[in-house]
Structure 1
Amino acid sequence: MAKPKLRSNFQPGSSLWAVRRAQWRALGLSDEDMEKPKIAVVNSSSDLAICFSHLDDVAATVKEAVRAGGGLPFEIRTTAPSDFIFCAGGGGGYILSSRDLIVNDIEVAVEGAQLDGMICLSSCDKTPPAHLMAAARLNLPTILVACGYQPSGEYRGEPMDIEEVFIRSADALRGTISTEEIGAMADNAVRGPGVCSGMGTANSMHVVAEALGMTLPGGAPVLANSPKMVEYARESGARIVDMVLADLRPRSILTEGAFRNAVAAVLASSGSINTVKHLQASATEGELDIDVFALFEELSDTVPMLSAVRPNGDKSIEEFEAAGGARAILKRLEPLLDREALTVTGKPVGDNLAGVVPVGDEVIRPLDKPVTTEAPIVIMRGSLAPESAIVKLGAREASRRRRFTGPAVVCGAGNDAMSAITKGKVKAGDVLVVRGGGLKGGPGMAGRASMVAFLLYSAGLENEVAIVTDGQLSGLVNKGLVVGEIAPESAVGGPLGLVRDGDLISIDVDARTVDLDVPEEEIAARRASEGEPRLPEARGYLALYQRSVGPMSKGAVLGGDAVNRA
């Protein structure tokens, strides 16, 4: 088979060829090197967070494999956002907005240099979706490498991980545990590099990437720095060269069938709610006419929950990996999957699953013996959320309320809402409205809506008070009844901005509705008296994000509908 013409090989004698040759000769590259497939090794290594601290070593393994496979690797760096580190500034607005910064980091380097393919080292929450989005946008041969979860620790004989520290920090804020105790929990929560060890956004997105067919099978989840992860990285480095030579591109893989498979995997594993927006963003960047929100609505009626990893249940991520991980859950789901969907192996999903046998029936259950048949993620709509909203329930507890009607207690995002709880202004039977924390109002979905939910949990009110918010929730949130990411958001004229203290709000998870029980004429009068909504002032990158971020229905990508009025 003839080798494809590589876009990175310029016409000899041209100015592009000459100046590139001068640069690369100075780097020690030979004439033979310059003719090889040129592979971007996308690395988000950083000293700021433990989840990225091992990636330089992974990059070295990958580059060695690319060279052995006949390619020429070029390591490029992107920003390295860790939610637990980047949440400090901008009210938390840098967390989601960093996802799109990574996409543009990649475009600038890979398109600017006209490289031939990408191998992306996917670690903490925002890197896997950013890598998928960049792959879909650029449509160059791409493979993702899941770079593993961190080993967690113990505290007083009980498992302790960073998710538990995050949740229990609400107790410290309320003063029900001491600073010394939460400090001791933190000191024992993380025992090595990698992403959070629960089924939060990072591990969920690693599962998503495999279900989409954008990683080699069998790599999600995986313990960071384990021999299995190292070998998986090496195999991926070799494979990306073959993908370039075969001209196997993401848009051949990212079909509607692939997205259906990914949504099914999220529902079956009770994955993070953030997978919804990230999958939609990947579809939008790939110019694909796929409504991920509609897929979640459709498949939630037919796909059962087969696994409940912490914090959704009592199983550990180590147990999930030992039971077969994403490959095993896809095998269980095989009768419901698009088996013809192509993957980075060059083979369809059905071929990749041939011979796969899940280990045991308890951690990843068979279709006929699920944890529950009720959806762990529910897309909501109604007069308070004309476009969409989302509820994460995980494995539903008998005590968890599915219907709730109560008077509104209206607060701004972040500290305003937390202060209302700590001062006793929020009481049993109330619906706490937390607004101003959306894509543009945050901006960047700032406001720490998850901490508001954790404070209610700490106060013992998680089943006595409901929350509705236009803010983003942690992929870990499944305490109480929290309706998040209401769209349109209040800052662009969404109905949430018209709620007043005492208004009745009704939530029905089974009916998938969230409604403001106020006459339409009253709403119209309030809208007229309020006038056009004003966005809060923002500076720097967050101001750029605020102006250009598109609606949640398109995955909140940059360059979308910049006005996004209700």
Structure 2
Amino acid sequence: MKKKLRSTFEPGSARWALRRAEWGVLGVTEEDMEKPKIAIVNSSSDLAACFAHLDGIAAKMKEAIRSAGGVPFEVRTAAPVDFVTSAGHRGGYILSARDLIVNDIEVAVEGAMLDGMVCLVSCDKTVPGQLMAAGRLNIPTIVVACGYQPSGRYRGEHMDIEDLWINAVHRETGRNQITVSELNEMSENAILGPGVCAGMGTANTMHIVCEALGMALPGSTPVLANSPKMWNTVRQAGERIVQMVWDDDLKPRDILTPEAFANAVMVVLSVSGSINSVKHLQALAKEAQCEVDVYRLFEQYADNIPLLSAIRPNGEHTIEEFEASGGARAVMKQLERFLCKNAMTVTGQTVEENLRNAVVANEEIIRPVDRALAERPSIVLVRGSLSPDTGIVKLAVADDRKLQFTGPAIVFNSTQEAVDAVNKDEVKPGQVVVLRGLGPKGTPGMGVVTALVFALDGKGLGEQVALVHDGQQSGLSNKGIVVAEVSPEAADGGPMSLVENGDMISIDVEKRFVNLDVPESELAVRRSRLENKPVTDERGWLAIYRRLVQPLPQSGGILADHRMEAIK
């Protein structure tokens, strides 16, 4: 006898009759009312290439779920993308949309009491948003990575979205003499189809994280969008989710254990993934009610997990080569001795069982541990008097620079203000650029700093200054010594709010600190002068977000169990 589904109500009851009427118009039969109801979470949007193919994937997923004996219901969410929706309100809609996605899904799926979910993840914030919803709702869920975009060539050279971005910023700063016509030609060749950025940025990092966590089918990440491999994963996921509901009742919190998070952290370190994965994994752990400190995990494993792969922009190899070499599954095979192999996955099998037949097709692209590219970490967490809770430094794969920097501060309160100063040659070699007011509360939603990173590089200052900020930057940007996501942020009264021009700041990445070299007595005077007033005059969604968001090391998001308390 099959178990009773939570979506199934007594035939003849008022709830049953009303659903029968609503769903009957959609083609749902009386027989279907007894089948598993599966949400297909679709962040489709015409605003960017990242999401342009999701409607087609949702249609194929519906077919797969129906064939497996389930009833699919497509639900929509917000769809943020850095290159488009970062234009408004200092980029505040990017990170904040992640938490909006979680609530979108809760309203639709929990309100209807559906039995399971398939999450179609694409651009970077949709991935953690949908994962977080899975952790919050805790119903059987599979994540399907919908792939990276094909890149092109420009006059015989590789051209992707990062190449275009760097060339455009360098043109603005005067570092190159590219014409508008040439830039337009680059734009026409950087993206040749739908999907996420074709590099080891946040999107592909988070796709890989899904598999490392056990929430995506093994061997499914990364993947070229609309490729046969992707379509095969769609079919398999549609079949598996129905089976999970009927047979296993395997839920996200059975999978999202401390061991799963440890595996994800190790994989991110081994591929030099995006620093944005740190805050996303921490927010996911909180939603899944998993007692794990992701920031501490990155510190714990930083010096133990070797760097096994260098994919653009970290190295010269492409994401296509990484996929062909075996992708996330191959990386995990190489890391097998370090991994928590008993962690459960959506297959109903453990990591060890999933890796049993894994093959590494090219050990130059995905190195074995004994031939690692580097032993030192590419993601380093730093603390100190300027970042008591944390700050994050991303290092290049082949980085042989001196990882210490001491210099006087030059302080800015917006990315545009800082970029303008760079373009006017007001930022000088030897300075520490301090950019504040861009944290989760300060923007609100976290301002984007990438334009400043590229502007400094465009002026030839990337190696001659250091940058310390409390905002976020693209997973594709990796220039110079940058201490990112400093916490507590300035808007929360952190030491960032006390820095003045000329203050000496010391950074030592190897010793893991960033310090503000100002006597505590002077800081106390400055702290007494701080005005307790709103940092911004935002209204609408961003005002709500600013009021409810938590500090990054705690969650960096709006948690289900804190929302009503915060509102009161």
TM range (shorter): over 0.9
Residue 148 of structure 1 corresponds to 147
Residue 29 of structure 2 corresponds to 30
Distance, in Å, in 1 between the alignment partners of 2:308 and 2:553 is 28
Distance, in Å, in 2 between the alignment partners of 1:243 and 1:52 is 27
Q: Is 1:455 the equivalent of 2:455?
A: yes
Residue 554 of structure 2 corresponds to 554
Residue 194 of structure 1 corresponds to 195
Distance, in Å, in 2 between the alignment partners of 1:553 and 1:16 is 43
User: 2:423 is aligned with what amino acid?
Assistant: T
Deviation at 1:397, TM superposition (A): 2.0
Equivalent residues in 2 for 1:163-178, closer than 5 Å? 163-175=162-174, 176-177=176-177, 178=179
User: 1:226 is aligned with what amino acid?
Assistant: S
**Deviations 1:421-479, CA, capped at 9 Å, x for gaps:** 11111100000001111111111112x31110111111111110000001111111211
Among 246, 249, 252, which residue is 1:250 paired with?
252
Residue 307 of structure 2 corresponds to 305
Equivalent residues in 2 for 1:287-302, closer than 5 Å? 287-302=289-304
Deviation at 1:532, TM superposition (A): 2.8
Residue 419 of structure 2 corresponds to 418
Distance, in Å, in 1 between the alignment partners of 2:190 and 2:323 is 20
Deviation at 1:11, TM superposition (A): 2.3
Deviation at 1:548, TM superposition (A): 0.8
Residue 215 of structure 2 corresponds to 214
SS at match of 1:390: strand
Per mean C-alpha deviation after superposition, the further-off stretch among 165-174 and 330-339 is: 165-174
User: 1:169 is aligned with what amino acid?
Assistant: A
Distance, in Å, in 2 between the alignment partners of 1:40 and 1:218 is 23
Distance, in Å, in 1 between the alignment partners of 2:104 and 2:98 is 10
SS at match of 2:117: strand
Residue 287 of structure 2 corresponds to 285
**Deviations 1:64-121, CA, capped at 9 Å, x for gaps:** 1101111000111111111111011111111111111111110000011110000010
Residue 389 of structure 2 corresponds to 387
Measured at CA, do residues 273 and 422 of structure 1 come closer, stay the same or move farther in structure 2, by a change above 3 Å? same
Q: Is 1:438 the equivalent of 2:426?
A: no
Distance, in Å, in 1 between the alignment partners of 2:207 and 2:470 is 26
Residue 530 of structure 2 corresponds to 530
User: 1:453 is aligned with what amino acid?
Assistant: V
User: 1:35 is aligned with what amino acid?
Assistant: E
SS at match of 1:554: coil
**Deviations 1:6-26, CA, capped at 9 Å, x for gaps:** 000012333212211121223
Residue 52 of structure 1 corresponds to 51
User: 1:319 is aligned with what amino acid?
Assistant: E
Conservation of the 8 A alpha-carbon contact between 1:172 and 1:182: no
SS at match of 1:112: helix
Q: Is 1:401 the equivalent of 2:402?
A: yes
**Deviations 1:103-145, CA, capped at 9 Å, x for gaps:** 1110000011110000010111111111110000000000000
Distance, in Å, in 2 between the alignment partners of 1:15 and 1:101 is 32
Conservation of the 8 A alpha-carbon contact between 1:267 and 1:376: yes
SS at match of 1:238: helix
Distance, in Å, in 2 between the alignment partners of 1:534 and 1:388 is 24
User: 2:470 is aligned with what amino acid?
Assistant: D
Per mean C-alpha deviation after superposition, the further-off stretch among 531-540 and 414-423 is: 531-540
**Deviations 1:50-73, CA, capped at 9 Å, x for gaps:** 111111111111111101111000
User: 2:241 is aligned with what amino acid?
Assistant: I
Conservation of the 8 A alpha-carbon contact between 1:143 and 1:236: yes
Deviation at 1:182, TM superposition (A): 2.4
TM-score (norm. length: structure 2): 0.97
Distance, in Å, in 2 between the alignment partners of 1:252 and 1:490 is 37
Distance, in Å, in 2 between the alignment partners of 1:38 and 1:413 is 47
Deviation at 1:331, TM superposition (A): 0.2
Distance, in Å, in 1 between the alignment partners of 2:374 and 2:365 is 13
User: 1:168 is aligned with what amino acid?
Assistant: N
Q: Is 1:223 the equivalent of 2:224?
A: yes
Deviation at 1:28, TM superposition (A): 2.6
Per mean C-alpha deviation after superposition, the further-off stretch among 258-267 and 155-164 is: 155-164
Distance, in Å, in 1 between the alignment partners of 2:515 and 2:3 is 56
Equivalent residues in 2 for 1:33-182, closer than 5 Å? 33-175=32-174, 176-177=176-177, 178-182=179-183
SS at match of 1:260: helix
Deviation at 1:396, TM superposition (A): 3.7
Residue 13 of structure 2 corresponds to 14
Distance, in Å, in 1 between the alignment partners of 2:380 and 2:537 is 33
Per mean C-alpha deviation after superposition, the further-off stretch among 136-145 and 357-366 is: 357-366
Identity %: 57
Distance, in Å, in 2 between the alignment partners of 1:387 and 1:500 is 21
**Deviations 1:464-499, CA, capped at 9 Å, x for gaps:** 000000111111121100001001110111100100
Measured at CA, do residues 555 and 156 of structure 1 come closer, stay the same or move farther in structure 2, by a change above 3 Å? farther
**Deviations 1:316-366, CA, capped at 9 Å, x for gaps:** 000000100000000000000000000000000000000212012100000
Per mean C-alpha deviation after superposition, the further-off stretch among 464-473 and 178-187 is: 178-187
SS at match of 1:121: strand
Distance, in Å, in 1 between the alignment partners of 2:300 and 2:477 is 23
Residue 339 of structure 1 corresponds to 341
Distance, in Å, in 1 between the alignment partners of 2:486 and 2:533 is 16
Deviation at 1:375, TM superposition (A): 0.4
Deviation at 1:194, TM superposition (A): 0.6
Deviation at 1:533, TM superposition (A): 5.2
* Structure 2 unaligned spans of 5+: none
User: 1:340 is aligned with what amino acid?
Assistant: N
Distance, in Å, in 2 between the alignment partners of 1:157 and 1:319 is 19
Distance, in Å, in 2 between the alignment partners of 1:510 and 1:397 is 12
Conservation of the 8 A alpha-carbon contact between 1:128 and 1:205: yes
Deviation at 1:561, TM superposition (A): 7.2
Residue 500 of structure 2 corresponds to 500
Distance, in Å, in 2 between the alignment partners of 1:464 and 1:28 is 64
Residue 240 of structure 1 corresponds to 241
Q: Is 1:489 the equivalent of 2:489?
A: yes
Q: RMSD of the TM alignment (CA)?
A: 1.4
User: 2:215 is aligned with what amino acid?
Assistant: M
Residue 266 of structure 1 corresponds to 268
* Structure 1 unaligned spans of 5+: none
Distance, in Å, in 1 between the alignment partners of 2:140 and 2:554 is 24
Conservation of the 8 A alpha-carbon contact between 1:376 and 1:396: no
Measured at CA, do residues 396 and 508 of structure 1 come closer, stay the same or move farther in structure 2, by a change above 3 Å? farther
Distance, in Å, in 2 between the alignment partners of 1:455 and 1:112 is 46
Equivalent residues in 2 for 1:469-488, closer than 5 Å? 469-488=469-488
Equivalent residues in 2 for 1:309-320, closer than 5 Å? 309-320=311-322
Equivalent residues in 2 for 1:501-520, closer than 5 Å? 501-520=501-520
User: 1:89 is aligned with what amino acid?
Assistant: G
Measured at CA, do residues 553 and 561 of structure 1 come closer, stay the same or move farther in structure 2, by a change above 3 Å? farther
**Deviations 1:374-405, CA, capped at 9 Å, x for gaps:** 1010111100001111111130422x331000
Conservation of the 8 A alpha-carbon contact between 1:198 and 1:316: yes
Deviation at 1:234, TM superposition (A): 0.7
SS at match of 1:454: helix
User: 2:111 is aligned with what amino acid?
Assistant: G
Aligned residues: 561
Distance, in Å, in 2 between the alignment partners of 1:5 and 1:493 is 52
